[in-house]
Amino acid sequence: MPEPPVTVDPADWVCPLPLRSTRRIVLGHGGGGVLSEELINNLFLPAFGTASETSRDSALLDVGASRIALTTDSYVVQPLFFPGGNIGHLAVNGTINDLACSGAQPLALTAGFILEEGLELDVLGIIAATMGRAAVDAGTSIVTGDTKVVGKGGADQLFINTAGVGVVPAGVTIGPDRARPGDVIIVSGPIGEHGVAIMSVREGIDFGTVVTTDSAPLHRLVAAMLAASAADGDPGAVHTLRDPTRGGLLAAVVEIARAAAVGIELDEAAIPVPETVASACSFLGLDPLQVANEGKMVAFVDPDHSEAVLAAMRSLPEGADAAVIGRAVAAHPGMAVARTPFGTTRVVERELGEQLPRIC
């Protein structure tokens, strides 16, 4: 007789200390902030026995002589359709961007759908067609999938999971722990648009100008950055890449500061925040530096080659407005500070949970 599957005895599982205060899942556990990190570090990593690589968007694996990146993301954004896009754009571009953060070019994507009984086929059809077109536009494809249906009320319309496999070019070793003091911090364009696009429809607020999502695939931008750094004499000059989604720019840089044990100095006046985003955030009481982006990249680059990398970014539409926004320093490792337009400095910290639930 086959043995029964191994089961974990509930008596053997003890809720780890930092999580005990709630004992239940709260929205903030999915927000990409401090509570998310607590859940990952204290519950998932011990369970999975995986090394503590909390701040990496994808895992690296050896296949023969090649190296692949593997990533997964679920998308639960509400509403499903918003200015400039729908959940299908995020599901494809978001996963491509997680691969790109390891320097990988996308090889293939998977798509897992959880559908609520009663969902209109028109809605599913348009979203699936969007995903297919987004994949083709990015030069990749959705090669396998799965569909589950739950009863009315068992899910909120439609959730999508995409996993992605990418190929990491030989010699590329980009990672959150590779940032080092002196690195120039570059952001690939204006921030805050995706979050404001969602909030404007969710709250039904008219800000005068429509802010559209910035959802875009960034693997070509990354390829151009790597080519520029190699041509400039150092194929390893791009140390760290991160797409600032949930938790925004601040969560991205704080996580890198902690992973690499460097300090970070941001120049607030240099951070590109569109006027429309600034005024919407002001109205809603949000910090634009903590609003989600879906088509932006933060890069930590060796100062000797940052000009070449910046020029390469600006040569592509998705990096046309790239800007230097700060630098990594040896002081205050693990902490980020911002120089305000008034010349003062302030410590910046991630949210405990999230400003905007279900933003992606």
Choose between 153 and 343: whose C-beta lies nearer to a second copy: 153
Choose between 157 and 279: whose C-beta lies nearer to a second copy: 157
What does the chain come to in residues? Answer: 360
Choose between 166 and 263: whose C-beta lies nearer to a second copy: 166
Q: Per rule CB under 8 A, is residue 132 in the interface with a second copy? A: yes
CA 133 to chain centre: 21
Choose between 39 and 230: whose C-beta lies nearer to a second copy: 39
Q: How many CA atoms lie within 13 A of 79 on its CB side?
A: 13
Choose between 124 and 335: whose C-beta lies nearer to a second copy: 124
Cis, bond preceding 288 (omega within 30 deg of 0): no
Selected from 232, 255, 302, 318, the binder of a second copy by CB under 8 A is 318
CB of 76 to a second copy, least distance (A): 5
User: Given the rule CB under 8 A, which of 210-218, 258-266, 268-276, 334-342 is the region that contacts a second copy?
Assistant: 210-218
Choose between 266 and 322: whose C-beta lies nearer to a second copy: 322
- State which of positions 3-62 bind a second copy (CB under 8 A): 3-8, 10, 12-13, 15, 19, 22-31, 36, 39-40, 43-44, 46-50, 56, 58-59, 61
Q: Per rule CB under 8 A, is residue 242 in the interface with a second copy? A: no
Selected from 134, 253, 312, 325, the binder of a second copy by CB under 8 A is 134
CB of 172 to a second copy, least distance (A): 15
Which residues on adjacent β-strands are paired with residue 116? 150
CB of 108 to a second copy, least distance (A): 6
CB of 332 to a second copy, least distance (A): 29
- Candidates 203, 259, 249; CA nearest to 78 is 203
User: Given the rule CB under 8 A, which of 152-160, 249-257, 305-313, 334-342 is the region that contacts a second copy?
Assistant: 152-160
What letter would DSSP give residue 98?
A: H
Contact between residue 338 and residue 268 where contact means Cβ atoms under 8 Å apart:
yes
CB of 56 to a second copy, least distance (A): 8
- Our CA angle for 124, 126, 128, nearest 5°, is 65
- State which of positions 81-120 bind a second copy (CB under 8 A): 84-86, 89, 93, 107-108, 110-120
Question: How many chain residues interact with a second copy (CB under 8 A)?
Answer: 114
Q: Which two tokens stand for residue 263?
A: 């300090």
Choose between 162 and 262: whose C-beta lies nearer to a second copy: 162
Which residues on adjacent β-strands are paired with residue 17? none
Q: What is the dihedral of CA 324, 187, 303, 326, to 10 degrees?
A: 50
Which residues on adjacent β-strands are paired with residue 106? 166
CB of 298 to a second copy, least distance (A): 17
Q: Per rule CB under 8 A, is residue 223 in the interface with a second copy? A: no
> Which residue matches tokens 């599982």?
13
Q: How many CA atoms lie within 13 A of 60 on its CB side?
A: 18
Rg from Cα positions in the chain: 20
Selected from 68, 101, 174, 310, the binder of a second copy by CB under 8 A is 68
Selected from 295, 300, 309, 338, the binder of a second copy by CB under 8 A is 295
| 3-class DSSP assignment, residue 205 | coil
Contact between residue 76 and residue 207 where contact means Cβ atoms under 8 Å apart:
no
Q: Per rule CB under 8 A, is residue 216 in the interface with a second copy? A: yes
- Candidates 146, 148, 147, 142; CA nearest to 164 is 142
Binding mask 157-196 for a second copy (x = CB under 8 A): --x-x-x-x-x---------------------x-------
Contact between residue 155 and residue 279 where contact means Cβ atoms under 8 Å apart:
no
CA 112 to chain centre: 19
Cα distance between the two ends of the chain: 46
Selected from 52, 79, 136, 231, the binder of a second copy by CB under 8 A is 136
